Amino acid sequence: MAEANSIQMAKVLASPPVKLQPNERNGRSRIMFAQIVWISGQIGDTVYLGRIPAGARITGCWLNTAAGTASSTLAIGLRKASDKTVIDATGLAAATSIASAQKTDTISTGTLTKNGLSYVTQQEVDVYGTLAGAVTPVSPGQAIAVTVDYVSD
């Protein structure tokens, strides 16, 4: 049977070998965690969730929500930390339902991370969410937690 090499092993086996980056081998697994109780968030409102350093490989994104309003969705995107220029508004999660209490793995829906893609941050980035579909509840609000897994240094 034939054997294929991963992109990383092809680098190691190259002549001369190419050194792997920390986000490819022996890097540290880290998380960015954010939690909010969003009270009466309006369609198009954004929430700044956290920051990820340059050179990090994003490996996962989880959205954990309390029950909200029917039709409410949340997209999770990335923007440059330096000047807030949007890299991709749905980079880590396309419009994901936040109507019911659930935990959702969103990494496969993000435009930067779906279909087997991985994303390495080229600069320090902000993770942010954008509300769509319907407003969040007025009282007591909607609890939302976002966890982004990444590998760096």
Residue 51 confidence class, pLDDT cut points 50, 70, 90? very high
Give the position of tokens 């092809």.
Answer: 10
Q: What is the pLDDT of residue 20?
A: 84
**16 Cβ neighbours under 8 A, 6+ residues apart:** none
What is the C-alpha to C-alpha distance for residues 73 and 53, in angstroms, rounded to an integer? Answer: 27
Angstrom CA distances, 145 to 38, 78, 123, 139, stand at: 10, 17, 24, 18
Average pLDDT over residues 111-140: 94
Q: Return the CATH class of domain 22-152.
A: mainly beta
Provide the whole-model pTM: 0.89
Q: What is the pLDDT of residue 36?
A: 96
Would you list the domain boundaries of the chain? 22-152
- Tell whether the model's pLDDT for residue 132 goes beyond 90: yes
Angstrom CA distances, 131 to 1, 38, 43, 108, 135, stand at: 50, 10, 5, 19, 8
Say what the alpha-carbon torsion angle 93, 70, 48, 120 is, to the nearest 10 degrees: 0
What is the C-alpha to C-alpha distance for residues 116 and 145, in angstroms, rounded to an integer? Answer: 24
